[in-house]
Amino acid sequence: MLGYITRRLLGVIPVLLMVSLIVFMLMHAAPGDPVSMLISDEASPEDRARVAAAWGLDQPVWVQYLNFLQNAVMLDFGDSFRYQQPVIDLVLERLPASLELALYATLMAVIVGIPLGIWAAARPNSIVDTLASFGGFFGISMPNFWLGIMLILIFAGQLNLLPSGGRMSWGDEIPRLTGFLTVDAVLQGRWGELRLAFVHLLLPTVVLGTAMTGIIMQLTRASMLENLAEDYVMTARAKGVRARTILWLHAFRNALVSVITIIGLEFGALLSGAIIVETIFSWPGIGQLLIQGIGARDFPLITGLVIIYTALFVLLNLLIDVLYTIVDPRIRMR
Q: What percent of the chain has pLDDT over 90?
A: 12
Helix, strand, coil percent content, the chain, rounded in steps of 5: 75, 0, 25
Kindly tell me if the per-residue pLDDT of 273 is higher than 80.
Answer: no
Domain ranges of the chain: 87-327
State the pLDDT at residue 110.
92
* Residue 320 backbone phi and psi in degrees, to 5: -65, -45
> Average model confidence (pLDDT) for the chain?
83
Kindly tell me if the per-residue pLDDT of 4 is higher than 60.
Answer: yes
* Residue 86 backbone phi and psi in degrees, to 5: -60, 140
59-68 residue pLDDT tens: 888 888 888 8
Range with the poorest average pLDDT among 158-162, 313-317, 329-333? 329-333
Kindly tell me if the per-residue pLDDT of 241 is higher than 60.
Answer: yes
Q: Which CATH architecture has domain 87-327?
A: Orthogonal Bundle (1.10)
Kindly tell me if the per-residue pLDDT of 328 is higher than 80.
Answer: no
Structural contact between residues 116 and 136, judged by C-beta atoms closer than 8 angstroms: yes
82-135 residue pLDDT tens: 888 898 999 888 889 999 999 999 999 999 999 999 988 888 888 988 888 888
Kindly tell me if the per-residue pLDDT of 196 is higher than 80.
Answer: yes
Task: Report how far residue 37's alpha carbon sits from residue 98's, in angstroms, rounded to the nearest whole number.
Answer: 27
Number of C-beta neighbours around residue 193 at 10 A: 21
Structural contact between residues 12 and 314, judged by C-beta atoms closer than 8 angstroms: yes
Task: Report how far residue 38's alpha carbon sits from residue 84's, in angstroms, rounded to the nearest whole number.
Answer: 10
Residues linked to residue 86 through DSSP beta bridges, in sequence order: 79
Structural contact between residues 260 and 320, judged by C-beta atoms closer than 8 angstroms: yes
In terms of Cα–Cα distance, which of 147, 154, 67, 90 is closest to 287? 90
Cα separation of the two ends of the chain: 7
Using alpha carbons, list the distances in angstroms from residue 62 to 18, 28, 77, 219: 14, 11, 16, 45
* Cα Dmax for the chain: 87
Kindly tell me if the per-residue pLDDT of 333 is higher than 60.
Answer: no
State the pLDDT at residue 332.
61
Q: How many CA atoms lie within 13 A of 308 on its CB side?
A: 24
pTM of the model: 0.84
Number of C-beta neighbours around residue 53 at 10 A: 11
In this structure, what DSSP letter does residue 86 have? B
276-297 residue pLDDT tens: 888 889 888 888 888 888 877 8
H or E segment to which residue 104 belongs: helix 87-122
